[in-house]
Structure 1
Amino acid sequence: MTLFSYEIFDAVARQGSFNKAAQQLHLTPSAISHAIAVMEAELGFTLFNRGKNGVTMTSYGASLYPSIRAVLNSDEALQQSIARLNGLEKGKVKLGAFNSVCAGLLPQILKSFMASYPQIEVEVYQGTYDDVKEWLRTGQVDLAFLSATCREEFNLTELFREPLLCIVPQDWPEPPNGIMTPELMNGQSFVVQCDATDAEMRQFLKKYSISTERRCHVIDDQSNIAMVEAGLGISIMPRMLLRSCTAAVKIYPIEPEEDRVVGLAVQRPTAMAPAVEQMFHHIVDFCRQMDPQLL
């Protein structure tokens, strides 16, 4: 099998479709289908399940995917090293991030990075904590923004801390001194997100043994805020998500203060490609020098 075969496999795995993979690689769908069939014949087993709604990896394909990504990442690193020796700053960086970072911080980071390194292509993948962790494990992304709740799984470089705030409906009684405490939250109805996006809230509730009635289980941040606005419960969210909030809700600090810690993880810490290393240092420097008002 050739390196291009691996690129075809990767495109099909990412796109979940022969047609979309063909568009990405500027080939015909029949050429993609033929290339996968040749790979399967050579390997002796099926790599993809074909269906009306697209294709999915078989268990065999999924087990090979991390190794195929490693080969492609190594080739990208080699090409970037060659470019650097020729005095060129070029390459590709795949970056994974969760919603609040994508909306509140990443645009400024990418703008400043691309101004300094216009020849480096950046691909952004947005998802839940679990999505981003899986992309990092399998090599689909080179760098990933992650919460410190993932610290046991990855070597994180801390970027910043931001306080957790309590968001309540507009008609909620004013708490003493304008501060929410675990005692005031105990027994209240909560709007919560899925485990993959709401690790900090769950950690906070567990730490202070806060008993809750969980009425709404939502996926995204804006739905969370909308449910609170409708009076369906209260919630705990990082400040970055609420910085530009215009909903009819009240936002209060929490005591004892709790922070969300956000860090940057690398897919291959000891073998970063030149472009990945440039992006890594740019993000770290940007976050450590940024205006706290961005958080």
Structure 2
Amino acid sequence: MTLLTYQVFKTVAEIGSFHKAADILGLTPSAISHAISSMESELGFSVVTRSKAGITLTNYGEHLLPYVNAVLNSDESLKQVIDEMNGLKTGKVKIGVFSSVCTSWLPDILKSFRELYEGIHIEVFQGTYDDVAYWIKNGVVDLGFLSVSSAKDIPIQPLYCDPLICVLPKGMKNSGNPDFVDIEEMRAHQFVTQRECTDADIQNFLKENKLRIQSNYHVVDDLSTIRLVEKGFGICLMPELVMQDIPYEVDTYPIQPAACRIIGIAAMNPDFMAPAVRSMYNYILENYKNVK
């Protein structure tokens, strides 16, 4: 099998369509279909399932995909090393981010990094903690921002301790200490919560403090959560970084006991990176540690 075959398989897996993969790769749909069929003949098993709904990976295909990504990433690394030896700073970096880093840090990172390395192309993938962790493990991205608690077995370099705060409807607080919200005060309120893959650090705080919350509202994104709080459907906990430039009328308070999520930059093999990836990794470590 050739690198082109691997690229065809990777693109079909990501897009779920022979026709769309053909457009992206500059090939005909029949050439895409032939490449996949030839791959399957050589392997001795099917890697995709064809249906009217589109193309999906078989179990064998799912198992192969991380290895195919590794081969393609190795080829990209080789090209970058050769360019570096020729005095060129080129290559591609694929980076995964969750929402608040995407809105707060990423625009500045992209702009300032590009000014230093014009020849390095950056591709961004936004998702939940679980999405970013999956992308890192399966070679979809080279680097990813995660919280330390969500990284689990993925090597991660801590960057910033982002305090957790309590968000209440405007003017709602009329009991307890006027300067913070403690566990006992939280127990008296209904919560608006997010899925654990989105706010793992908040879920950990609730469990550690034996706070069994009541919630009829289980949403995914930060803005939806805060909007429901604004309209009086409950309170929520949020990392402080999320609350920057929020357009909704809510009050925020420190919590007791204090807690934070630790944001870091993660990569599966930090000691073995392509030159462009290493440049981005080191740039983030040098310029965004303890930056808010």
* Fold match (TM-score > 0.5): yes
Residues 51-62 of structure 1: pairs in structure 2 closer than 5 A? 51-62=51-62
Q: Distance in 2 between matches of 1:204 and 1:236?
A: 10
2:224 maps to 223
Counterpart secondary structure, 1:217: strand
Q: Distance in 1 between matches of 2:194 and 2:134?
A: 19
Q: Note the C-alpha offset of 1:53.
A: 2.6
Q: Distance in 1 between matches of 2:121 and 2:268?
A: 18
Q: Distance in 2 between matches of 1:237 and 1:23?
A: 42
Q: Note the C-alpha offset of 1:151.
A: 4.3
2:8 maps to 8
Residues 19-38 of structure 1: pairs in structure 2 closer than 5 A? 19-38=19-38
Q: Distance in 1 between matches of 2:183 and 2:23?
A: 53
1:124 maps to 124
Residues 197-233 of structure 1, C-alpha deviation per residue, up to 9 Å, x if partnerless?
A: 0111111111111121011100111111111112111
Residues 250-261 of structure 1: pairs in structure 2 closer than 5 A? 250-261=251-262
1:79 maps to 79
C-alpha RMSD of matched pairs (Å): 1.3
Equivalent residues of 2:97, 2:127 under 8 A apart: yes
Q: Distance in 1 between matches of 2:26 and 2:242?
A: 39
Q: Note the C-alpha offset of 1:141.
A: 0.6
Equivalent residues of 2:155, 2:268 under 8 A apart: no
2:186 maps to 185
1:270 maps to 271
Counterpart secondary structure, 1:61: helix
For 2:123, the aligned partner's letter is E
Q: Note the C-alpha offset of 1:152.
A: 3.1
2:96 maps to 96
For 1:76, the aligned partner's letter is E
Q: 1:289 to 1:249 in 2, by over 3 A?
A: closer
Q: Distance in 2 between matches of 1:18 and 1:165?
A: 47
2:234 maps to 233
Equivalent residues of 1:73, 1:139 under 8 A apart: yes
Counterpart secondary structure, 2:157: strand
Give the ranges of 4+ consecutive aligned residues of structure 1 lying more than 3 Å apart after TM superposition. Answer: none
Q: Distance in 1 between matches of 2:290 and 2:211?
A: 36
Counterpart secondary structure, 1:167: strand
1:47 maps to 47
Q: Note the C-alpha offset of 1:51.
A: 2.2
Equivalent residues of 2:161, 2:290 under 8 A apart: no
2:283 maps to 282
Q: How many residues align?
A: 291
Counterpart secondary structure, 1:176: coil
Residues 156-188 of structure 1, C-alpha deviation per residue, up to 9 Å, x if partnerless?
A: 101111111111112412442231111110142
Counterpart secondary structure, 1:10: helix
Residues 101-250 of structure 1: pairs in structure 2 closer than 5 A? 101-174=101-174, 175-250=176-251
Q: Distance in 2 between matches of 1:109 and 1:198?
A: 23
Q: Note the C-alpha offset of 1:289.
A: 6.6
Equivalent residues of 1:142, 1:268 under 8 A apart: no
For 1:96, the aligned partner's letter is G
Answer with 253-262 or 93-102: which moved more. 253-262
Q: Distance in 2 between matches of 1:285 and 1:56?
A: 41
Equivalent residues of 1:187, 1:212 under 8 A apart: no
Q: Distance in 2 between matches of 1:173 and 1:283?
A: 39
Identity over aligned residues, as a percent?
45
Equivalent residues of 1:141, 1:267 under 8 A apart: no
Counterpart secondary structure, 1:254: strand
Gap runs ≥5 in structure 1: none
Equivalent residues of 2:95, 2:142 under 8 A apart: yes
Equivalent residues of 1:187, 1:211 under 8 A apart: no
Q: Note the C-alpha offset of 1:20.
A: 2.0
Q: Distance in 2 between matches of 1:201 and 1:114?
A: 34
Q: Note the C-alpha offset of 1:268.
A: 2.0
Counterpart secondary structure, 1:288: coil
Q: Distance in 1 between matches of 2:172 and 2:51?
A: 51
Q: Distance in 2 between matches of 1:35 and 1:249?
A: 55
For 1:189, the aligned partner's letter is Q
Q: Distance in 1 between matches of 2:23 and 2:286?
A: 37
